[in-house]
Structures are given as structure tokens and as C-alpha cells.
Amino acid sequence: MKMGEFTKRVRSDAIAGPLRRAFTPDRWNRAFGDLPAPDAEDQDIHAAGLVLHEKLGTIRSILKLSSSDEISATTKLRAFLALANYDFFVTRDKTGLAIERFMTERAAVSQELYDMEEMAAVKLSLPGGAAWMPNEVVEGIVDGIELPIRVVMQAKPDLAGNPRMNRIQWDEAIRELNLGVLYRFAVDLWDDCLWNSYKMIDTGPVKVFLPREIDVLRSYRTGLARRASLSMGFNIQATQFQREAFAQGMRLKFRDVCGIERRGKRQVIKVAKQGVSTGILEQLSILRTHAAEPYYGELLEERLEALHGLTLSTLMDAWTFISRAAQMLAKSIGEKHTQNVGEDRVHAWMPEYAPTLQTGALEDALAIAAGINKAEARRIVDFFTFRGMAGQELWAQPLVPVGPDKVVPVFAAVASPNLRRLVDVWMRQTGVDLARRGPAFETHIQELVIDAIQSSEVLSPVAACITGDYTFRPSGSRDEQIDLIFSIGNTVFVAEAKCILEPTDAKGLAMHRKTVLGAAEQALRKAKAVEDNRIQFIEDASRFGMTLSEDFKVEPLVIVSTSTHVGIAALTVPVIDEHILGRFMDGELEDIAYQPGDPASSKRFKTRFYSNAAEAEERAPGYFASPPQMKRFIDGLRVRVVPLYAADERDWAGQVVTMECVAGGVPLSLQEQARSAIKGDPTTSITHERYVDVP
């Protein structure tokens, strides 16, 4: 879609949009009127900017508690944190009940297979009538608390003194947290209008926002669902591997938190002996392993100037420790939580949901657990402390200061993180050049293909991969550097590899889409260069052991480091990731019928993609164009309408049309088994197992 001049200038910040302090309706209207011939998108952006600025202004005008000078900063911060942590426990309880209900309903249906994604996609009904998935509620808790905390922290307040929690009007504090969620929603909606071509239809009292770039939503929602599926599969496999390793004497290098106690006014965080660990620490170690991409090796161990010589690997270890300490606090609160439910003396028990950690105790224990000195531990604790500074976020900095030497953890941020994303955030915050990941990713993909070819009895006689930094130099036309080029039989695959940040917001999604489309253009151009210069390419490729005849076929590919956009073509070019590529090169896909009560007895099922070289060559283009393991995610897409509430009686309400993906059905290798069961095949035994994809 061609971009209008007004939209272009707003995107480049040449015209101040509604999120900037310099914005006023008069300046906005004047800037719009000064440009000749605005197009339809310009008009949509202009209209959306005015109404969303109005909503954001209304929300800010209602915020009283966070900006009040009559209540101390430490009191306000503890109140907001207590409410957020309380909401985390409520969400946890509601989720448990929803999952129990799901399993009970499924158990009542005979001979039915279901996968873990369906169970994870249960929804919780919240006040207001809308239903949300648990992860959406948790994200709302963290995003909602960030605005009032930033408002309190922006004046760099003195946090000394005792909190006076009896001065808090809890209804007002709850309202401000809800307004924080609404504010973040409105900000994200503006970014969707600006970057992803959302169109507003103004019907008067209700404004409807519609997407025009459907592939943007499709690629994002399927990516979210598949990423969750791959994470579950990795977790199951890693847990089983870890149990077997523990049985053989392996121990975690990192030391666990075994208690938090008071000794007079001093807090002590007790560190367990080396080799002693709990199930929670073991799960955190799996989460940490999953977050470390295989091609991140050198980056994780590089000493960073911003951390005074510490590494990202040390930072990840420290996050594990801080998460464990926070969960120890959460456990103590959870034991009292059931007693508080239904208790109407909110002022008496709500403050308990903001338990503090003394920074000195954190530093002492972290130094012991991570094997670092006290000064290094102090720098790390400071790094993970949220002070409302530009570039900080509560997910990455989950400790909020409430006194000169005290912090309160945001339970939702440490219990349900996307740690793979946080590693990228920490790289950015510590000044790591993210562009350095690109060559490492390209090398990783090359090695994946080469190893698969060498280990395959079917592919090794007929497939080849050009190694290293390859540039094709056809006479009479431009040189083309090709990230990955391999052949199966007489078919050549020309791939553009892109190591991109997994998008988590509207602008990030737009930049991701732009990068993928650019990669598709490059793949098409490079494939054409090979196709138009066949004889020269045959001669050049022969140096790498690639044997081709003059009628060889050329297939372009885009390979991304993310789950977003996988399975959704860009400019007709298939978009895949290393898992899709690797499974075909291996020749088979494996799924697990997971037995929660007895993981060791979980059954594995395989789907073979080809049995000989001719089938591999014939089926590869179709497989990459429409990966069969993506079908259930694409089939799980559906329209969803999300309410945008009015902040007060002066404000307008809206509806946002989006999509969601619930990956139902049965994974690929189990579909034949499911069909047999449905047809009543007496030889097929079906139990109520949970199925996950294997990465």
C-alpha cells in the first residue's frame, strides 16, 4: 500500500503525533491542512490521531492518586504493587479453575484427542463482560501498573519514611490500575493505526477500528500460538532429559534460594548448598536454556562495558536468582491468600501483597549464588530495578524501589516472562549491536542444512549445500551475496536468512513485516540471477560438490529467526524458520502424546515426509510453501472483537477488530490415529493425552 505524505511525516516524527508532548489538535489540523492531496490513509491517520489524543488526555486527567502530593511516593508505589500482585493471585486461581473445567468437560467426551494449546487457550471472564486468555490478563497486570508507577517515579521522589497505607482509598487505586491498562491499550491502538493501517469508522458514541493488512495479523497470531507450542514441546523434552541427567548425578551449577528470614531489622536470603535444587529452580533453568539461542554463544559470554565487565550469561543467571527469590515471597503470600478471599477489610490485608526485599540481602545472596563479588551483585540488582527511565520496562526490570534500600517484585513479571524476548531487550539496554546476530544466524542455518545432509542416507547422495560467505558473480549483472543455497536433486533453493527481533508491539510488528517483505524481494531477485545465468551457476556450484543439469529448478525461500510470519508467504515466497527447515531435512516430524502423570511413558509418533531422493525433491517446494505442521495454526485463526472502554462519562467507547489463533485439532503425526479412532477402528487405543509439537 502506497504511503501518503502526511502518514510518512508522522511516522518519521516530522509531525508530532498524539503520543508526543508537542501534540495539540490545532497543530495537528494545521499540519494536515498544509499538505496537498492527502490520500485515504492520511485522512484515517488524521482522524484517529484526534480521537485517541482525546481519550489519552481524558485518562491522564482522571489519574489522581499517582500524581497526588498528599500521599507519599512509597505509599502510592506499595499500593499499586499490592494490587497488581493481588490480581496475579486472582488470575492464577481463576486459571486453575478454568483448566480443571476444561479437562472435566473433555474427559466426559469419549475417544477425543486434544492438544495442550487448546487447554492453554482457556479464557477467563472478567468484569465488563469480555473474556481473556490468562497470558493476556497477566500482560495487562504488568502493562497496567507501569503507567501509574512511571507517573510516581518521574519526579525522582524521596522514598524514605514509613508507608501510611491507611490513607489509601483502594477503590481509587484499583481504578488507576484499570486506567493504566486502558491507556496502554489506546497507545497500542494508535501505533496499529499509524504502522499497521488500522482504519477507524466513527459511528458516533462507538468508534470501530478495522484492520486492512490482514496478513500482518495472520502472521502475528499464528506466530504467537506456534511459539507457545514449541516452548511447551521444548519444556517437556528438556524436563525429561534433565530428570535422566539428575538420575546420573548431574547437578545445576546455580544455587537455589531456600528461605527468606528476618534477623532483627535485617533480612537474610538463604542460599542452598551446591547441587540442592527444587522443581521450580529446575524449571527456571530450562527456561533459561530455552532463552539462549544456539547462535548467541559468543554474545552471551562477551564482557559488556555497560555492565562494567559482566556478561549477558551472568545477567541471565542473576535473573533466575531474582525470580526464585520473588517466587519464595509469593509462596509465603499465597499461603495467606485463600484466607483473604471474601474478607472485606481490604485495608488490613491488601498491603501484605507488596512484600519487600532488602537490596543488601539480595546483593549478598546473589554474590554467593552466582559466584560474583558484592560490587558486581550490586550493579546487577540496580540493573533489574525499575526507575521509570527511558528504555526500561517492568518485564525486564521487575523490581520496583519503595524505599532507600527496599524493592518489591512484580510477581506477574517474574512468574510469566518471555525470557527469549527479554534477552533481546537486555542486549539493547546494554548496548549490544543486534546486527551482529545476523551472521551468526546465517552460519547456524548453514550448519543445520549441512549436518542434516551428511547424516541422511536419503539426501547425502543427491543434496549439497554451498558453505561459507558465498557470492554469485554472473557476468554482465550485479553480484549477489546469498545467505543459504542448497540443492536437492536438480532443484536449487535460494534462501534469504533474517535474524529479527520477535515483535511484541504494533510498531515492532510493522518493522518485522517490512523486513520479511524486503527479504522476499531479495530472495526473488537472487533466485532470478541464478535462473538467468544457469551455465555460469552450474560451473560455480560444482566447486562445492553441487551437480546440476541445465534444466534445474530454482525455488526462493525466506528463513526467519522468529515464529512470526512462518507459514504465511511474502510476495509468493515461502517464509519458514529453522524448525520447519530442519524437520524436512531430517525427513520426519515427531509429536509427543504427553502423559502428565508419567512423562517417561509418553508416546512418540512420527510422520515421514519422503522415503527416497525423488520424493524429497518433488515434495520440498510444496512443503516449504505450506508446511503441514502449520495447518492447524492457520485453521485456528478466527476474528475477535475487543472492547475499548470509556474512561468516564465524557469519554467515547470503541471496538477493535482483531484476530486470535487457537491451535486446535491434532498434531500432524497423530491425525491418522485420530481418524482411525473416529471411524471406530478396534485396534486403535485412544486415551486422554495431551499432544505437543517437538521443536
With a pLDDT cut of 70, the percent of the chain lying above it is 87
Least trusted range by pLDDT, from 431-440, 557-566, 669-678: 669-678
Q: How confident is the model at residue 480 (pLDDT cuts 50, 70, 90)?
A: very high
Question: 189 near 656, Cβ under 8 Å?
Answer: yes
Q: How confident is the model at residue 662 (pLDDT cuts 50, 70, 90)?
A: confident
- The residue with greater pLDDT, 170 or 48, is 48
Q: How confident is the model at residue 596 (pLDDT cuts 50, 70, 90)?
A: low
Is the pLDDT at 115 greater than 70? The verdict is no
| pLDDT computed for residue 655 by the predictor | 96
- Which amino acid would we find at residue 436? R
Q: Name the DSSP class of 413.
A: H
Question: 190 near 654, Cβ under 8 Å?
Answer: no
Q: Which range, 270-274, 470-474, 586-590, is most confident? A: 470-474
Q: How confident is the model at residue 599 (pLDDT cuts 50, 70, 90)?
A: low
pLDDT in tens, 537-584: 999 999 999 999 999 999 999 999 999 999 999 999 999 999 999 999
**What's the rounded mean pLDDT across residues 495-502?**
94
| pLDDT computed for residue 109 by the predictor | 61
Q: Going by C-beta distance under 8 Å and a sequence separation of 6 or more, which residues neighbour residue 137?
A: 87, 91, 124, 126
Q: Which range, 159-173, 284-298, 395-409, is most confident? A: 395-409
Backbone angles phi, psi at 541, to 5 degrees: -70, -25
Least trusted range by pLDDT, from 209-218, 366-375, 679-688: 679-688
Query: Residue 695 and residue 689: Cα distance in Å, rounded?
Result: 19
Question: 246 near 226, Cβ under 8 Å?
Answer: no
Q: Going by C-beta distance under 8 Å and a sequence separation of 6 or more, which residues neighbour residue 204?
A: none
pLDDT in tens, 611-651: 999 999 999 999 999 999 899 899 989 999 999 999 999 99
| pLDDT computed for residue 1 by the predictor | 47
Q: How confident is the model at residue 257 (pLDDT cuts 50, 70, 90)?
A: confident
pLDDT in tens, 125-149: 777 767 888 888 888 899 889 989 9
Count of alpha carbons within 13 angstroms of residue 31, beta-carbon side? 25
Instruction: Report the SS3 class of residue 657.
Output: strand
In three state form, how does the secondary structure of 211-229 look? CCCHHHHHHHHHHHHHHHH
**What's the rounded mean pLDDT across residues 113-130?**
69
Is the pLDDT at 682 greater than 60? The verdict is no
With a pLDDT cut of 90, the percent of the chain lying above it is 53
Residue 621 burial (CB < 10 Å; 0-12/13-18/19+)?
middle
Architecture of the domain made up of 435-588: 3-Layer(aba) Sandwich (3.40)
Residue 312 burial (CB < 10 Å; 0-12/13-18/19+)?
buried
Least trusted range by pLDDT, from 48-62, 168-182, 536-550, 585-599: 585-599
**What's the rounded mean pLDDT across residues 262-283?**
80
| pLDDT computed for residue 689 by the predictor | 38
Least trusted range by pLDDT, from 28-37, 114-123, 205-214, 271-280: 114-123
Mean of pLDDT over the chain: 86
Q: Domain extents for the chain?
A: 265-432, 435-588
**What's the rounded mean pLDDT across residues 645-660?**
94
Query: Residue 160 and residue 243: Cα distance in Å, rounded?
Result: 47
| pLDDT computed for residue 690 by the predictor | 41
- The residue with greater pLDDT, 509 or 432, is 509
| pLDDT computed for residue 342 by the predictor | 57
Mutual angle of helices 374-383 and 312-340, in 10-degree steps: 60
Question: 375 near 310, Cβ under 8 Å?
Answer: no
**What's the rounded mean pLDDT across residues 402-417?**
92
Q: Name the DSSP class of 111.
A: T
Cell of 270: 538463604
**What's the rounded mean pLDDT across residues 110-133?**
68
**What's the rounded mean pLDDT across residues 662-682?**
47
Quickly tell me which residue has 488500522 as its cell: 198
Closest CA to 526 of 464, 491, 479, 465: 479
Least trusted range by pLDDT, from 244-258, 334-348, 482-496, 533-547: 334-348
φ/ψ bin of 525: left (φ > 0), alpha (ψ from -120 to 50), beta (otherwise): alpha
Question: 393 near 339, Cβ under 8 Å?
Answer: no
Is the pLDDT at 482 greater than 90? The verdict is yes
Tell me the chain's radius of gyration from C-alpha atoms: 27
Q: Which range, 66-70, 435-439, 466-470, 659-663, is most confident? A: 466-470
Question: 144 near 180, Cβ under 8 Å?
Answer: yes
Q: What is the pTM of this model?
A: 0.86
Is the pLDDT at 350 greater than 60? The verdict is yes
Is the pLDDT at 678 greater than 50? The verdict is no
**What's the rounded mean pLDDT across residues 653-670?**
76
pLDDT in tens, 500-534: 988 988 999 999 999 999 999 999 999 999 999 99
| pLDDT computed for residue 675 by the predictor | 41
In three state form, how does the secondary structure of 242-310 look? HHHHHHCCCCCCCCCEEEEEEECCEEEEEECCCCCCCHHHHHHHHHHHHHCCHHHHHHHHCCCHHHCCC
**What's the rounded mean pLDDT across residues 428-437?**
86
Backbone angles phi, psi at 384, to 5 degrees: -85, 5
**What's the rounded mean pLDDT across residues 66-90?**
91
Is the pLDDT at 304 greater than 50? The verdict is yes
pLDDT in tens, 183-217: 999 999 999 999 999 999 998 889 999 999 899 99
Query: Residue 412 and residue 135: Cα distance in Å, rounded?
Result: 10
**What's the rounded mean pLDDT across residues 410-414?**
93
Is the pLDDT at 431 greater than 80? The verdict is yes
Handedness of CA 423, 424, 426, 427 (dihedral sign): positive
Least trusted range by pLDDT, from 91-100, 436-445, 684-693: 684-693
**What's the rounded mean pLDDT across residues 40-48?**
95
Closest CA to 27 of 6, 44, 11, 5: 6
| pLDDT computed for residue 686 by the predictor | 28
